[in-house]
Structures are given as structure tokens and as C-alpha cells.
């Protein structure tokens, strides 16, 4: 076998693979590494708090550990549910180990982020990560120093102890020292936090950098929180052969009817029976008897069958129109905000919801096209905008149809939440091409754009009315004077009558009302418009 001499084969552990290809996970250079580290840790913190209805309070402290070598120390602390002591080593030291491989909306999904932080730290500074964690109501705080045995993909416990939990603290605190460029990463990190706050205005963040003026504090501006997602079962339309095989192995003797009802979302006995009729299989046949082509056929039919219920949105946790409007108003300070939370939809059996906000005027910097803020499962996507479906859709829209003339102060916020965000890479910065999602994004953006058009139209009318009223009043004054002179009638009485006449003709009761109206629209524009209609100017 000649090729044995010229080609050598080897197997890599997942840890070794990602050590060598860290760009894939977003750790492509010292600037990006700092950004990615903070992002991964903050997302874990948010998952550990808001998913359990705890108002997140997150502290981030950055220091120069050794400035001559570009060593940066990063500390992130949260008030979440903590990690059970015996799980800590694997959670930080084993690639592809996670609590998030569940059908439920999470910010993290790959079981990769925290391990990449550890891998990057030990590859650049050879220092372990320090983890302190206390689960809810724990008497102790668990403390570990951890590294990864890269060849084996196993945690290495450098030190371990438990501390008394005197103040009933719960949460997780991480400290890590790595090679990084904080001055360059700073702007990105701040932008990341600002945008995170936009969709999570119920969280508070403290960021303290190494320099005096390097501190920002983003306060909590509401205590309203979206309902946390529930954990779900797979939708019968989203299955593949491998998943069915794995489920069958749990209990091959289970009758088909029960198998369907037990393992899938929204499948009751009636639906299961209808489906089994459709496939032509008896309800009491043990599922383990499905083999080979019969099995594949069963799966194909599951995906073709149109009688399933729609995927449920209980596993999702959208931000909601009110909270989103509050977050956007607080961060962007616009004249007006319109928001929409679309109805749940699905792709390949995965439920998803698109939300959009349109912010107009006020402190928004005028620009030649709409400013875009993208979010997926409440995670802001900062890099790779040029490639994103949201940019594409917003650019395709003919904004003149919505009475927008550029340069304009217009920002579009789009949030996609799903039990499975189809990211195009493990760096989680762009979303893969999925027609169902594209179409929902388009509908959402159009919906808020229609609200803007109504708002602008009404503002124009009010301006017109105001102008008419001003002119009529002026002439009214002249007329009153003239009439009073001619008829010797009382001037004030005449003025009053003429003014009343003008108001009646213009259909306004008082000037105050008119001005108040305009102000109200600016304050509270959120939920107006012909919300769900699809009569659209063709674009």
C-alpha cells in the first residue's frame, strides 16, 4: 500500500480542532479575541439570568495583566442561577458539552464559546481560567482553576476549593487572562453592550476598563421581562432519519401511536392516527420494527404530512413590542418608534418569530440609507452586515413609497428568535439563507414602515392644518377689526365667533388640542397603523 509512505493520517480532538482553527469561532486576531471573549461570557450570563426570570445584573472588569506583552485580564460576573459544582469542569473544559442542546431559545447554542475562551487563554498566556459559581440557595461557592487537556478534550483541574456563601450570593464569576488588544476592541465591546441593552432593557451592565475614563454603566430602564421560553419537543416536520433512529433506540417496543404522541410537539392521538392512516401503518406496531426503507419512508411522510399543528412559540421568548420600544427609545433617542412582533412562523419545523422596530428622527444621525441593528435570539450581530439578509431586504425597499427622503434619520431594528438560529458560522455573525425567514423579515419591516408612512402623513396634515389655522386667524383678526368698525359690534365677541367658525371648518376644537395631538404622536407612536394587512405598494 504505497500511499502509507507518502500520506500520514491523524485524528484531532474537538479541542485541538478549534485550537487550530480558532478563526471559525471568531477568535481571529487579538482585537476580535477580546470582543468575542466578552461576548461569549455575557451571553452565558444573560442565559443564566433572564431564562429563569432573574433581572440580569452583569459586571465586566478589564485590566492590563501585563501591558508589555499585551496581556489583558477579563472578569465577568452575573447574578444567574449558577452552575452545579460537579458540572463546572466540563462546562469550561470540554468542547461540545452544554446545557443548551435543548429545544428552547438560548443566546448560546454551540457549547463552544466558554471553551474557546479557555483554549485561547491557555494558548496565548498559559494561564487557567478562574471560575466561581454558586447555584441558587447554595451554602457554598465553588471555585475552580481550569485548563483543557487539548489532546483528550478533557478539563484539567488546576485547583479547586469551596468557600462559604455568607451573603447568599448566586451566579457565576469568571476571570481569564489572555493576549488581546483592549484599546482597539473597546469601541466594539461598548457598541455590543449598547445594542444588547437595546433588546434587553431589563438588564443592567457595568463595564470598567483599565483607564480612568474607561467606564460605562448601562442602567436597567424597565423591570418588565419577557416570559422565559419553555423546553419543547421536536416538531414532527423537522425530523431527520438520524433523530428518529435515536428516539427508537430508547424503546423499540413502543407502539407507533404512542411513539408519535410521546416524542413530538403538538401530536395528540387524533392527529397521530390520521398520520398513521396516511402512511398506512397500524397504530400498535412496535416502532423498532421500522427498518431500512420503511423507516426512511416514515420520516419522509412525517415531513410531507400537512396535518400537524404549527410549531409552538412557547419555546421562544420574543422581546415584545413594548419592551423593544422602550429599549430602542432609551438607546437611540428618536422622535418616534414603531414596533411589531410578528406571529410565529417556522422553517424546517423550527419555530421562529421576527420582530422589528423603526426609529425615526430625534437623535438618530441622518444618513444616506437606513441604519440597521440586527439581533438573533437577543444577541446583537455586529460584524458581517454586508452579507446579511436584513441589509439586503432593507436595501431592496423603495423608501419613497413610505414618504422617506434620504438623507434621513432612520434606524431599523430586526430581531429574529428561534429554537435554532441558522447561523452561517460558529462565529455567530451572519444568518444563513432561509427563504421563510427572509419573507418574515420583509413583512416585519414593511409593517413598521407603513406605520411610519401614516405618521408622516398625519404630521404633514397637521402641519397643513396649523398653517391654515394661522392664516385664517390672521385674516379673522382683520375681518373682526373691519366688521367691528363697520357694525360697531363688540370686537372680542366678533373675534370669538370668527375663531369658532374657523375651528368648526377646520374640525379642531382648540389650538392646544392640535399641538397636544402632534406631541402625543411623537411620544406614543408604537402601536398604530393597519397592522396586519398585506396591501402593499409593490416594490
C-alpha cell at 170: 448566586
Q: Please tell me whether 48 is known to bind a ligand.
A: no
Q: Please tell me whether 496 is known to bind a ligand.
A: no
CB 24, min distance to a second copy, A: 6
Q: Which stretch binds a second copy (CB under 8 A): 135-143, 213-221, 349-357, 410-418?
A: 135-143
Report the distance separating Cα 469 and Cα 465, nearest Å.
6
| Bridge partners for 145 per DSSP | 130, 159
Report the distance separating Cα 248 and Cα 263, nearest Å.
10
CB of 111 or CB of 362, closer to a second copy: 111
The DSSP symbol for 133 reads E
CB 17, min distance to a second copy, A: 5
35 binds a second copy (CB under 8 A): no
Q: Which of 67, 159, 367, 387 binds a second copy (CB under 8 A)?
A: 387
Structural contact between residues 535 and 457, judged by C-beta atoms closer than 8 angstroms? no
C-alpha cell at 228: 422565559
Report the distance separating Cα 310 and Cα 349, nearest Å.
8
Structural contact between residues 415 and 378, judged by C-beta atoms closer than 8 angstroms? yes
Q: In 292-386, which residue ranges form alpha helices assigned H by DSSP? A: 292-304, 321-332
CB 246, min distance to a second copy, A: 8
Within residues 7-26, the interface with a second copy by CB under 8 A covers 7-14, 16-17, 19-21, 23-24
CB 178, min distance to a second copy, A: 11
Q: Which of 123, 145, 439, 497 binds a second copy (CB under 8 A)?
A: 123
Q: With contacts defined by CB under 8 A, how many residues of the chain interact with a second copy?
A: 77
Q: Which of 56, 135, 155, 370 binds a second copy (CB under 8 A)?
A: 135
Report the distance separating Cα 153 and Cα 16, nearest Å.
8
CB 384, min distance to a second copy, A: 6
Q: Please tell me whether 115 is known to bind a ligand.
A: yes
CB 340, min distance to a second copy, A: 27
424 binds a second copy (CB under 8 A): yes
Structural contact between residues 357 and 339, judged by C-beta atoms closer than 8 angstroms? yes
Within residues 516-535, the interface with a second copy by CB under 8 A covers none
CB of 6 or CB of 519, closer to a second copy: 6
Query: What angle (nearest 5°) sits at the alpha carbon of residue 271, between those of residues 268 and 272?
Result: 80
Give me the 74-113 binding string for a second copy, x by CB under 8 A, dash otherwise. Answer: -------xxxxxxx--xx--x-xxxx-xx-------xx--
Single out the residue of 314, 290, 313, 312 nearest to residue 302, CA to CA.
Answer: 290
137 binds a second copy (CB under 8 A): yes
Q: Please tell me whether 420 is known to bind a ligand.
A: no
36 binds a second copy (CB under 8 A): no
CB 32, min distance to a second copy, A: 8
CB of 157 or CB of 241, closer to a second copy: 241
SS3 of residue 416 by DSSP: strand
Q: In 213-291, which residue ranges form alpha helices assigned H by DSSP? A: 241-250, 256-263, 269-279
126 binds a second copy (CB under 8 A): yes
Within residues 215-274, the interface with a second copy by CB under 8 A covers 240-242, 246
Report the distance separating Cα 82 and Cα 77, nearest Å.
11
Structural contact between residues 432 and 420, judged by C-beta atoms closer than 8 angstroms? no
- Cα–Cα separations (whole angstroms), residue 241 to 290, 292, 353: 11, 10, 27
CB 430, min distance to a second copy, A: 8
Q: Which of 230, 314, 384, 477 binds a second copy (CB under 8 A)?
A: 384
Report the distance separating Cα 379 and Cα 429, nearest Å.
9
Q: Residues forming the annotated binding site for ATP?
A: 44, 78, 99-100, 108-115, 428
Amino acid at each position: 500500500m504505497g500511499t502509507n509512505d507518502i500520506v500520514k493520517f491523524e485524528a484531532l480532538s474537538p479541542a485541538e480542532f478549534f485550537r487550530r482553527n480558532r478563526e471559525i469561532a471568531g477568535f481571529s486576531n487579538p482585537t476580535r479575541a477580546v470582543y468575542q471573549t466578552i461576548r461569549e461570557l455575557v451571553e452565558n450570563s444573560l442565559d443564566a439570568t433572564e431564562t429563569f426570570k432573574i433581572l440580569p445584573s452583569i459586571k465586566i472588569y478589564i485590566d492590563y495583566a501585563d501591558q508589555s506583552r499585551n496581556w489583558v485580564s477579563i472578569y465577568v460576573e452575573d447574578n444567574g442561577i449558577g452552575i452545579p459544582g460537579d458540572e463546572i469542569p466540563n462546562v469550561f473544559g470540554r468542547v461540545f458539552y452544554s446545557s443548551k442542546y435543548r429545544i428552547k431559545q438560548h443566546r448560546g447554542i454551540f457549547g463552544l464559546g466558554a471553551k474557546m475562551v479557555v483554549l485561547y487563554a491557555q494558548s496565548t498566556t498559559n494561564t487557567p481560567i478562574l471560575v466561581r459559581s454558586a447555584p441558587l440557595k447554595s451554602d457554598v461557592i465553588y471555585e475552580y482553576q481550569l485548563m483543557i487537556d487539548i489532546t483528550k478534550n478533557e478539563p484539567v483541574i488546576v485547583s479547586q476549593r469551596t468557600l462559604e456563601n455568607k451573603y447568599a450570593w448566586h451566579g457565576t464569576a469568571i476571570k481569564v487572562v489572555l493576549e488581546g488588544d483592549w484599546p482597539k476592541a473597546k469601541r466594539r465591546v461598548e457598541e455590543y453592550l449598547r445594542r444588547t441593552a437595546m433588546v434587553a432593557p431589563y438588564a443592567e451592565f457595568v463595564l470598567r476598563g483599565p483607564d480612568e475614563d474607561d467606564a460605562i454603566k448601562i442602567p436597567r430602564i424597565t423591570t418588565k421581562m419577557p416570559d422565559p421560553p419553555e423546553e419543547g419537543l421536536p416538531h414532527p416536520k423537522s425530523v431527520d432519519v438520524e433523530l428518529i433512529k435515536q428516539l427508537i433506540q430508547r424503546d423499540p417496543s413502543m407502539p407507533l401511536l404512542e411513539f408519535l404522541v410521546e416524542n413530538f410537539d403538538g401530536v395528540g392521538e387524533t392527529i397521530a392516527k390520521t398520520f398513521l392512516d396516511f402512511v398506512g401503518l397500524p397504530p400498535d406496531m412496535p416502532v423498532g420494527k421500522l427498518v431500512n426503507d420503511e423507516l426512511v419512508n416514515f420520516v419522509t411522510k412525517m415531513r410531507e404530512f400537512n396535518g400537524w399543528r404549527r410549531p409552538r412559540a412557547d419555546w421562544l421568548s420574543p422581546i415584545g413590542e413594548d419592551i423593544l420600544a422602550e429599549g430602542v427609545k432609551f438607546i437611540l433617542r428618536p422622535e418616534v418608534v414603531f414596533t411589531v412582533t410578528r406571529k410565529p412562523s417556522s422553517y424546517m419545523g423550527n419555530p421562529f418569530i421576527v420582530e422589528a422596530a423603526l426609529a425615526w428622527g430625534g437623535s438618530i444621525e441622518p444618513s444616506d440609507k437606513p441604519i440597521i441593528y440586527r439581533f438573533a435570539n437577543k444577541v446583537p450581530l455586529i460584524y458581517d452586515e454586508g452579507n446579511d439578509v436584513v441589509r439586503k431586504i432593507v436595501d431592496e425597499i423603495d423608501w419613497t413609497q413610505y414618504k422617506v427622503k434620504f438623507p434621513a434619520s432612520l434606524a431599523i431594528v430586526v430581531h429574529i428568535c428561534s429554537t435554532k438560529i441558522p447561523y452561517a458560522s460558529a462565529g455567530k455573525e451572519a444568518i444563513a439563507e432561509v427563504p421563510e425567514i427572509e419573507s418574515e423579515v420583509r413583512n416585519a419591516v414593511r409593517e413598521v414602515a407603513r406605520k411610519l408612512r401614516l405618521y408622516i402623513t398625519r404630521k404633514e396634515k397637521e402641519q397643513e392644518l396649523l398653517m391654515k389655522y394661522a392664516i385664517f386667524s390672521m385674516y379673522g383678526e382683520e375681518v373682526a377689526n373691519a366688521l367691528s368698525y363697520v357694525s360697531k359690534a363688540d370686537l372680542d365677541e366678533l373675534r370669538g365667533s370668527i375663531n369658532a367658525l374657523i375651528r368648526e371648518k377646520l374640525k379642531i376644537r382648540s389650538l392646544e388640542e392640535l399641538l397636544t395631538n402632534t406631541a402625543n404622536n411623537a411620544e406614543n407612536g408604537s402601536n398604530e397603523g393597519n397592522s396586519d394587512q398585506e396591501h402593499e405598494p409593490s416594490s
